[in-house]
Amino acid sequence: MTYKGKVRGNVIELEGTVALPEGTEVEILVKGAQREKQALRDPPRGSPQAILKFLDSPPACTPDDVEALLQAIEQGKRPPRFEGIFDKV
Cβ–Cβ < 8 Å for 72, 64? no
List Cβ neighbours of 28 (8 Å cut-off, separation of 6 or more). Answer: 12
pTM reported for the whole predicted model: 0.31
pLDDT tens digit sequence for 36-45: 565 567 788 8
- Spans of all domains in the chain: 30-75
Indicate the average pLDDT of the chain: 83
**Mean pLDDT score, 45-72:** 89
DSSP structure class, residue 66: H
Q: How confident is the model at residue 56 (pLDDT cuts 50, 70, 90)?
A: confident
